[in-house]
Structure 1
Amino acid sequence: MRAEPEAVSPAGGEARARTRVRAEVPLHRSLLVRLLAVSVMIAVCSVAATAWLAARTTSSAIQQEQGQLLSSDTEIYDTVVGYAAVHPDWNGVAPTLRRLAERTGRRITLTTQSRRRIAASSTSTSALPTRASAVVDPLHTDPALLAGGGTDRIDPRAVGPYRLTTAERKNLRLWADKILACLRGTTGAATLTEEPSGRPAIRLPDSALDGSFVDQGCGLDLLGMPAPTEAGPLNRLTTMVNDCLEREKQPLVKFGMDFVIRTKGDSQAARTCLDTARRDQLTPYVAPAALLYVTTPAGTVVAPAFHLSSAGTARLAGVAGLVLLVTVAVTVVVGTRLVRPLRALADAARRPVEEHQRVPVTTNDEIGFLAAAFNDLSQRRERVEGRRRAMVSDVAHELRTPLSTIRGWLEAVQDGIATSDQALVDSLLEEALLLQHIVDDLQDLAEADAGQLRVHPEPLRVRDLLDHVTTVHHGRAETAGVTLTARTDGDPELSGDPVRLRQVVGNLVSNALRHTPSGGSVTLLARRAGDEVTIEVADTGTGIPAEDLPRVFDRFWRADKSRSRRTGGSGLGLAIVRRLTEAHGGTVTVASTVGAGTVFTVSLPV
């Protein structure tokens, strides 16, 4: 006897299919991860777009409001300082404050340095803030808050004794017009302005201020000569400055109506003395320093606040709508891609069972695995359906033959064609026993399929099990001319149902005797291997082709289709062997070589 070591499990294909379906989905292909990524992307884009638009709109609105506040504050400060520069006191400033309040929507209050109220734009008596908005002093201004800017701390509108008379203004203007006409012929461009004192001033273009300009007899330098009204105050100012420099032991200086020191003695000390002398000279002509309070009409400090404009609201709504549109579009696209294969699965599942639909596997995520599992299920269902039909056909065929035989003989006896004798009764009884055997086998398989097959384990010796089976089949083996032997390595024991195990070994021996020609042998061998007891039933029969090995445990299957029920059995014996072995927690395998023989191996746990 020669046997190949190949062992075939009938459930191998289905097990591999289930393993493939249960395979882990790669993380980057996971449907959950993809949905989470899309949701996070949409949320991030929505939040980012909304935050960006809100920040841009808020910043723009705040900048606009701050610009309006700064413009209003500059206007208020410049106007009040201008009033102080041309008035020796604050009498009559109230109308000016009211006009400013009407234009800017603020409440404006002036107080002395000791916070005694001088004038206000309203009659409200609410308390003033603890800190003034600015100090109004035309001789110590904040150039950043003045409309004209500049760097001189003395307001240029504070001219005091330097204000020209009407006649002097007229004469200087005529002279300036002549100089302007002359300069335009040489420089190409020049403008005429009037200073707060009434003195005309000519401004040259930037191209003429690079040091290359030469007054070609137009008399521009003479325009800077002091008028009679200005000569006296200018001389007194020069004396005050030089007296200051003498005390500081600094060189004496000279300057003109522009108050620019033009001598080599120009220093920080000279500049300080000039500024101090100018302030002393102008003090009697300007209003005293005062505190300026700019508040809201309710009396609170003005703070930057913004109100979203209609354009800003429209932009915000537009971007929000765009984000919503993109969100809906992305959701629809992703949802459509996800639903399409699910609809295909649903349509395939609703098809009639007989069609055995398949669905395409287009993705490598959970849906793709579901489609693969559906296809695998459909394939297995198709196989099961085929087996069911074949089994129904086989059962009908197996039952039809003995029933036809019994009916034929009974009708023959009824018609008087045959005589009811002992031989006929024995034949009919044999046919009935065959029917009973098939029905019993089918009942065992039905109980196994329903999970109702019960075994009653008890300790037993495997040697006794083999001896019992050998004794039962000894007569049949002698009749067939086959040598039937049994041996055991040692004396293994196990826990099992003795009746069911005798049925297992008996079916294998019966199958081996049926397929072993005269002169062959059938050998039973039992041994213990670790925690298992193996029982081998080996024959020297015709063998089974390799392509048929996976089907030997199928119901009603016969390797040789030409065999009849009497020579090939019912085709249920090996199926029952597998079910009973599995009920004991064991396995059964087969290895065979055509022309050499077959070995069935039953492995049972101890």
Structure 2
Amino acid sequence: MSRPVPPHRSLVVRLLGTSVLIVVLSVGTAAWLAAKTATRAVQEERSQSLAGDSQIYDTLLGFAATHPGWDGVELTVRHLGEETGRQITLTTMQGEPIATTHPGGTLPGRPAAILDPLDTTTGIIDPRAVGPYRLSPQDQALQRARAEKRMDCLLKQGTPATLVEQPSGRSVVRLAARIPRLRMDCTSGENEPTTVEAFALKALWRKTADCLSYRHLNPVEINVDFSWWYKDTEQRGSSQDIQDCVSAARRDQLRPYVAPPAHLYLSSSVRPPTPVFELSAASTLRIAGATAFVLLAAVTATLVVGMRLVRPLRTLTAAADGAALRPAPVTIARNDEIGRLAGAFNDLAARSERSEVQRRTMVNDIAHELRSPLTNIRNWLTAGQDGLADLDQDLVTLLLEESGLLQHIVADLADLAEADAGTLALHPDRYFVAGLLVQVIEAHRGAAERCGVTLHHTVTADPEAVVDSARFRQIVGNLLANAIRHTPGGGHVSVRARVEAGHLVVEVADTGEGIAVADLPHVFDRFWRADKARTRATGGSGLGLSIARKLAQAHGGDITAVSALGVGSTFAVRVPVPARLGS
């Protein structure tokens, strides 16, 4: 019986202690760091990062994209300063002040950003810079009506679509990512340029054509969304060069309509910073409450997980302790390491049960096989002692045959025991296979003639092998005796030997009764007979094939069998041949 697990060794206690330690350290460290560094880290990040001032940058960039100059930006700068609490200063690229929230203040060492809606460094033009492409109210209403007509057509066909108004006043229909096949064309002319857009696009086309001509490229047509295409489909050119020309022409066309580039300077807030976290009594209480909550949650989770881990382990322990001789299978439906352990435990229990059944069967078979010759010997000796039989030469011969059979069974069992224990002694040496096979065949020729069975053998190139000659003859002899026993009169048994793929292959084939497919996996089992009606006298001891296979495996090889009912069987011995011999 297993002893109780001490508390300090328990898996639940270890998990619980680990969780508590981790939670206490993590929560305590996080609280201390938050109390000491949160305010300064947040304020420094806000003063140094442009991402925190995206509202200022986007608002001023939008002003530049929609105004031809910076006149009137002072009000916008003052409003942004009041809203964000930052010191904002706007200067020209030469450093002349345009607008500031705090006149006379000291500027930072370098600007936070450059405000240019026609940014030439990244190649991105702000979409709010529309210039001569802004639609008049009449054109805007007409073009929107066309777009709405197309969207209604799409919606009637079940195609999701939305209407988006661009900064120029043009309405664009946005379709879903996946568009089903339309039953009817919904084009309503919404993509056609208006009078204002056509005039501006013509001017843009001329500027682009000049650039393309300078680069020795053919002119292209430009759409209202500034995409381009070749009117002559056979024309080709560098797409990047063409796009560069279109973008450069747009910047040149839009430059009079937007404000010139300017430097944006951002400084720290002039207002006293408001701490986002302070270690007051209330804050300390909140930290303690949060720590207690997290600790309670960790302890609860650890207990639940620990009990789920321990419960199947206790089931396995109880099953192992409750088994008198062999472990009983357990039912644990888990798909994790413990489930795999339970599966291995059940496999062990099943193998133990099979081994026990085989052991009982083997003991019964051994007792049966030994009982027959012992009973015959005892009966004849008792008859001779009682004067019921004469102890003549025939009786002595019979007793010697019975004792020989008994000795043969005992010797076979001893060979199997040595093979199972791995103590089977071999004395390998170099031998020519043909000579060994002739010895075996001649030893069994008399038994074959008595049964009316013809023996013949074939050896290809008389291969040489490193084997224990006595054990090798025993392997082939057992297979030959089995073949003769199961071949009716007039049949043939052939022995063939060759070298194949670095192995010596010896095949013993007969034209006997054959073995059923269902019985073939059991032919090497101990005391197994295909015909249960066969006795020891007619069917052998049932150990010959088992011993032959063990001896072949001791040589580093194996034996395989193929058979067909009514046709015959072939047993093949494969033993590795050293490379220097095989060559």
- The TM tier, using the shorter chain, reads 0.5 to 0.7
* Residue of structure 2 aligned with 1:478, choices 439, 449, 455: 449
* Residue of structure 2 aligned with 1:432, choices 382, 397, 403: 403
AA at the equivalent of 1:486: H
Q: Residue 543 of structure 1 aligns with which residue?
A: 514
Say whether the 8 Å CA contact 1:543–1:595 is kept in structure 2: yes
CA drift of 1:43 comes to 7.8
CA drift of 1:465 comes to 1.4
Q: Distance in 2 between matches of 1:582 and 1:426?
A: 37
* Residue of structure 2 aligned with 1:443, choices 399, 414, 419: 414
Q: Residue 513 of structure 1 aligns with which residue?
A: 484
* Residue of structure 2 aligned with 1:491, choices 457, 462, 467: 462
Say whether the 8 Å CA contact 1:558–1:568 is kept in structure 2: yes
Q: Distance in 1 between matches of 2:16 and 2:571?
A: 57
Q: Distance in 1 between matches of 2:345 and 2:38?
A: 59
Say whether the 8 Å CA contact 1:537–1:599 is kept in structure 2: yes
Q: Distance in 2 between matches of 1:351 and 1:547?
A: 37
Matched, 1:359 2:302: no
Q: Secondary structure at the match of 2:519?
A: helix
Q: For 1:406-438, what per-residue CA distance to the aligned partner results, in whole angstroms no more than 9, with x for missing partners?
A: 111111111111111111111111110011000
Q: Residue 307 of structure 2 aligns with which residue?
A: 336
Say whether the 8 Å CA contact 1:525–1:535 is kept in structure 2: yes
AA at the equivalent of 2:537: R
Q: Secondary structure at the match of 2:572?
A: strand
CA drift of 1:343 comes to 2.0
Q: For 1:174-212, what per-residue CA distance to the aligned partner results, in whole angstroms no more than 9, with x for missing partners?
A: xxxxxxxxxxxxxxxxxxxxxxxxxxxxxxxxxxxxxxx
Say whether the 8 Å CA contact 2:380–2:389 is kept in structure 1: yes
Q: Secondary structure at the match of 1:546?
A: coil
Say whether the 8 Å CA contact 1:526–1:534 is kept in structure 2: yes
Q: For 1:205-256, what per-residue CA distance to the aligned partner results, in whole angstroms no more than 9, with x for missing partners?
A: xxxxxxxxxxxxxxxxxxxxxxxxxxxxxxxxxxxxxxxxxxxxxxxxxxxx
CA drift of 1:309 comes to 6.5
Q: Residue 531 of structure 2 aligns with which residue?
A: 560
CA drift of 1:367 comes to 2.1
AA at the equivalent of 1:393: N
Q: Distance in 1 between matches of 2:38 and 2:565?
A: 93
Matched, 1:393 2:364: yes
Q: Distance in 1 between matches of 2:337 and 2:17?
A: 18
Inter-CA distance 420–383: structure 2 relative to 1 (3 Å threshold): same
Q: Distance in 1 between matches of 2:327 and 2:512?
A: 40
Matched, 1:525 2:489: no
* Residue of structure 2 aligned with 1:572, choices 527, 533, 543: 543
Inter-CA distance 319–487: structure 2 relative to 1 (3 Å threshold): same
Matched, 1:415 2:386: yes
Q: Distance in 1 between matches of 2:460 and 2:17?
A: 68
Q: Identity of aligned pairs, percent?
A: 52
Aligned residues: 329
Q: Distance in 1 between matches of 2:463 and 2:552?
A: 17
Residues 116-195 of structure 1 correspond to what in structure 2 (within 5 A)? none
Q: Distance in 2 between matches of 1:60 and 1:366?
A: 43
Q: Distance in 1 between matches of 2:510 and 2:24?
A: 77
Inter-CA distance 599–37: structure 2 relative to 1 (3 Å threshold): farther
Residues 22-421 of structure 1 correspond to what in structure 2 (within 5 A)? 49-51=27-29, 53-54=31-32, 314-352=285-323, 356-421=327-392
AA at the equivalent of 2:410: V
Q: Residue 439 of structure 2 aligns with which residue?
A: 468
CA drift of 1:365 comes to 2.7
CA drift of 1:48 comes to 5.7
Q: Distance in 1 between matches of 2:305 and 2:555?
A: 51
Q: Distance in 1 between matches of 2:430 and 2:36?
A: 89
Q: Residue 475 of structure 2 aligns with which residue?
A: 504
Q: Secondary structure at the match of 1:438?
A: helix
CA-based RMSD of the aligned residues comes to 3.1
Say whether the 8 Å CA contact 1:61–1:308 is kept in structure 2: no
* Residue of structure 2 aligned with 1:583, choices 538, 554, 565: 554
Say whether the 8 Å CA contact 1:53–1:319 is kept in structure 2: no
Q: Distance in 1 between matches of 2:473 and 2:394?
A: 32
* Residue of structure 2 aligned with 1:600, choices 541, 555, 571: 571
Question: Greater shift after overlay, 345-354 or 537-546?
Answer: 345-354
Q: Residue 86 of structure 2 aligns with which residue?
A: none
Inter-CA distance 388–353: structure 2 relative to 1 (3 Å threshold): farther
Q: Secondary structure at the match of 2:462?
A: coil
AA at the equivalent of 1:338: L
- Specify which structure has the bigger relative contact order, considering alpha-carbon pairs within 8 angstroms and separated by 6 or more residues: 1
Between structure 1 and structure 2, the one with the greater Rg is 1
Q: Distance in 2 between matches of 1:481 and 1:406?
A: 30
CA drift of 1:364 comes to 3.0
Say whether the 8 Å CA contact 2:23–2:295 is kept in structure 1: no
Inter-CA distance 401–367: structure 2 relative to 1 (3 Å threshold): same
Q: Distance in 2 between matches of 1:426 and 1:59?
A: 107
Relative to the length of structure 2, the TM-score reads: 0.52
Q: Distance in 1 between matches of 2:38 and 2:498?
A: 93
AA at the equivalent of 1:432: S
Q: Distance in 2 between matches of 1:549 and 1:356?
A: 31
Q: For 1:37-65, what per-residue CA distance to the aligned partner results, in whole angstroms no more than 9, with x for missing partners?
A: 99999888666644554466669999xxx
AA at the equivalent of 2:388: I
Q: Residue 152 of structure 1 aligns with which residue?
A: none
Q: Distance in 1 between matches of 2:20 and 2:435?
A: 75
CA drift of 1:494 comes to 0.9
Q: Secondary structure at the match of 1:537?
A: strand
- Give 5+ residue unaligned stretches, structure 2: 1-13, 41-274, 578-583
Q: Residue 119 of structure 2 aligns with which residue?
A: none
CA drift of 1:308 comes to 6.7
Q: Secondary structure at the match of 2:367?
A: helix
Q: Distance in 2 between matches of 1:420 and 1:440?
A: 28
Q: Distance in 2 between matches of 1:362 and 1:326?
A: 27
